[in-house]
Amino acid sequence: MDSASLAALASIHPQQNLHTVFVYGSLMADEVLRILLKRTPQSSDAVLNGYQRSSVKGRVYPAIIPVTSKKVSGKIISGIKDSEMYLLDAYEDFEYKRITVEVSLMDSLEKLLVYAYVWGNEKDPDLYGDWDFEDWKRDHLEAYIEMVKEFMEEYEHSGP
């Protein structure tokens, strides 16, 4: 394709802002991302220092809150479009707030500023213990996928 054709294409499809998000719970599962985003974004293993991942009473997904001496392992997903960020905001709901955090990539120890969804109430009495991704996949992934499909049906009918 020549440069004139590329320029014409770019004016039809202006470049979107692309975002990077640290995920540490259900969004680490490619199966969940494929339902939500209709694709599997590029990802890398990462660590978030100064936070703790906890189980939430009555829920199968975790929350993170700031705790100086702790760290959370997860991954970053990159190339997330604005429209996908709005979808993730809706998916994470009002109990989480999206903030910018610094993570370290596991393979290079490079540090990046990325978005993460942090539990809004640091003193929530419903937060307890630890949350394990492998246990969650084994015990809850299948049923969770159905819940995510229902969320997407509702989201697509109601719009962002």
Distance CA 23, CA 40 (A): 13
Known catalytic residue: 150?
A: no
Residues 6 or more apart from 91 whose CB is under 8 A from it?
36, 151, 155
- CB atoms closer than 10 angstroms to residue 112: 16
User: Which amino acid, residue 31?
Assistant: E
Residue of 84, 92, 122, 150 marked catalytic: 92
Write the CA distances from 159 to 21, 86, 110, 144, integer angstroms: 22, 10, 37, 22
User: Which amino acid, residue 26?
Assistant: S
Beta strands in 5-132 (DSSP E): 18-23, 42-56, 62-81, 96-105, 111-119, 127-128
The catalytic residue positions are 92
